[in-house]
Structure 1
């Protein structure tokens, strides 16, 4: 994706925006929005016409997906809203090549007043093809741009490699990303620590970005989500998401270096052909953020400098299937250096955010992400069944491409 997003986000709840915690007492009845793009959890609701057609073709598609894991009880003041795509979507390669489809859909929780989001629970309708899901905040002033993107692209939703395709400037997207939550296989409901939440203004909608892995098939999908909401009057501390992406420069192994895509230029051209010039250029654009390109190799990193007081509340990392290890450090190389995330070996199916004791940073403090990737992992992983041959790997959106991303859940004064 672009420098502003990632995600596979991952088998995760890379909810780099919602701290995963145990929730408190206070169960309440579920309430659901009743509008286009929203559906109740009632088992009796009829599916849309398109979904019914898909079922006649032999596909079992619920009008509203059911949670794969029982949601945690609601806490005092929270209500739960369940949203779903209004009809089935059948994934395909948008550019006619590649094995990945990133598609964005607008969902409306019908917020008549400002509120805080205190939890997300993604409901993948067809887990076989849903590789990961990211939820973006769609403020009222950006609604026209989203509707234009939707109308300009035939079918439900629109192609959106990287982020939504519009919105904030790149710097803002990194320092205060518009993510609301994320999911990948193995992910569970993400619930914010008591007293914290993400503010949603009146009229805010949700853009649900779904990454479909075409290597797993092209069956139709109706995915959805559950949101935990509390009134704005609760006066919670606002959570934000801070991203630290790093470029990837993983060459072919010497004994496999005769492949056509072992040439870096050819590999970059392949990424651009599959995802477009913009998302396909992410790896090179990241050098404006992280400094000049260093010698290629299995290890990549990037350092970001804080420009205002910031408190880290949770941390997560994201790579793909060639990932071996990821580390996130605060003020590396100084007497105050500390490691706040160190995953080795990397587990693609465990990318959830880890809560941390508050880490207070000041302007000019630094945070560094370091990733290690390995080509030999493609020799055995079933996902590489049709891509066993080495290729020069750079940042790419696909299941069998790579990323290096640090994700911080933060608060600011």
Structure 2
């Protein structure tokens, strides 16, 4: 395994219920076998949809697997679930559904979608029994629906846009910030207009003093928006202190910030929406939408802090992933407490102050296989570990117990890739050949990026 480090100062057997010796459940006295799904009279099925399975599906699956939602089929009713029951075991056994990438050995997070062993075995046993329906009178109480997020700002890209640069195009669109007083972003949702081509979305808050410089970039590009590889200005303006408002990646879901926190936005700001398009022939135009909830005040001002090795980004220490190699690992650690004034320019935190990590996320591309964020040095704490990376299921994970970071602690990121022939993407129906890969903005390049949501103590 190649390892490169850097330092930067910046179930169970099925139980036949009520078996009679010499007979098996689901078999009548004449020896004819009934379908398990009709076993609602006489011998009851050991596990049924209404009594046992529906509650699991409602809690862990129906949020995506319901009519009109993003999953390819519904599990919202008995008819829906029984129709696809035979397809469920493969995903359940592999642990890929429901999708919950974090390793529970690292930590616990809010809104956990994962199945425990008992629930997984219950579903497997139900399928093995033939997906019995049971008695609707056994239905569990209706699940309590989460309170819907209420947004007070609704922004949309100014016009539909079809990317023309292949294979990847980064294009930014400027949207006016409508609030006339200082406010704080406490929730953000991104709805991609054309999911087939949207690789990721990042919303930045351009401060008022830089607004004209960004408008000039927009005016200079004849197409809607302007090209912006690398950041909201495409490297044409010093944007190192432009705060993130939020982001969307495949698998991401709308959500609110940790309670009592929010990201500050000044009146007169602009929202720069960076769209990373992975261009496909024949794809339709995109007009993505961003919804934002604001508050007039919060208990603690927050920032989203991107974290990586700048030497990888700049190329002075290449993040090389050689063609044909598996198990390529790069890692990086740094004490970031001395750079807090860059993140909190209004003086909220000074160099060397402790700060609190409330949520963590990782970002790699398609050759990634594993990634982790942790604290080392003064303490040894796992923040996020994704042992089986899946580009299509990324997200930000809110810690059930926020972690305080003190001077001397180092934030550490580690990523692993597989660049062998079997792990290459398919483009236009053709699997690509391995090539040397470095840090880059394109889908065919790679990244090792951590994002942590932080506040003061």
Provide structure 2 residue ranges, at least 5 long, that are not aligned to the other structure: 1-7, 9-98, 101-108, 112-144, 339-351
- Residue 84 of structure 1 aligns with which residue? 156
Deviating more after overlay: 213-222 vs 237-246: 213-222
> CA distance change for structure 1 residues 217 and 180 in 2, over 3 Å: closer, same or farther?
farther
Q: TM-score, normalised by structure 1?
A: 0.65
Q: Give the number of the structure whose alpha-carbon radius of gyration is greater.
A: 2
1:142 corresponds to 2:173: no
- 1:412 offset after TM fit, Å? 2.5
- For residues 41-72 of structure 1, the C-alpha deviation after alignment (integer angstroms, 9 at most, x for no partner) is xxxxxxxxxxxxxxxxxxxxxxxxxxxxx995
SS in 1 for 2:420: helix
Are 1:126 and 2:194 counterparts?
A: yes
Change (3 A) 1:124 1:350: same
Counterpart of 2:358 in structure 1 is 313
Cα shift at 1:209:
0.6
1:227 to 2:270 alignment: no
| Counterpart residue number, 2:60 | none
Residues in 2 aligned to 1:188 and 1:158: alpha-carbon distance in whole angstroms:
27
Q: Distance in 1 between matches of 2:238 and 2:174?
A: 21
Query: Are the equivalent residues in 2 in contact too, given 1:71–1:189 (CA < 8 A)?
Result: no
- Taking CA–CA contacts closer than 8 Å with sequence separation of 6 or more, which of the two structures ends up with the larger relative contact order? 1
Q: Retained in 1: the 8 A contact 2:371–2:385? A: yes
Contact 2:424–2:431, Cα closer than 8 Å, also in 1: no
Query: Structure 1 CA distance, aligned partners of 2:421 and 2:450?
Result: 22
Partner of 1:241: 304
**Which of residues 106, 115, 123 in structure 1 aligns to 2:183?**
115
CA distance in 1, matches of 2:259, 2:236: 30
- State the match for 1:276 in structure 2: none
Q: State the 1:139 CA deviation.
A: 1.3
Report the counterpart of residue 456 of structure 2 in structure 1.
412
The answer to whether the 8 A contact 1:241-1:407 is kept is yes
Q: Is the 8 A contact 2:203 2:247 kept in 1?
A: yes
Secondary structure of the equivalent of 1:141?
helix
The two structures, once aligned, show a CA RMSD in angstroms of 3.1
Q: Displacement, 1:400?
A: 1.9
- Rounded Cα–Cα distance in structure 2 between residues aligned with 1:71 and 1:123: 19
How high is the TM-score relative to the length of structure 2? Answer: 0.59
Give the gaps of 5 or more residues in structure 1: 4-10, 13-19, 23-69, 249-280
- Is the CA contact 2:252–2:396 (under 8 Å) kept in the aligned structure 1? no
Residue 360 of structure 1: which of 395, 404, 425 is its match? 404
SS for the counterpart of 2:407 is coil
- Following the alignment from structure 2 to structure 1, what is the Cα–Cα distance between the partners of residues 308 and 321? 18
Q: How many residues align?
A: 298
What are the superposed Cα offsets for residues 205-240 of structure 1, whole Å, 9 maximum, x if unpaired? Answer: 211111111136453211121011112xx3331111
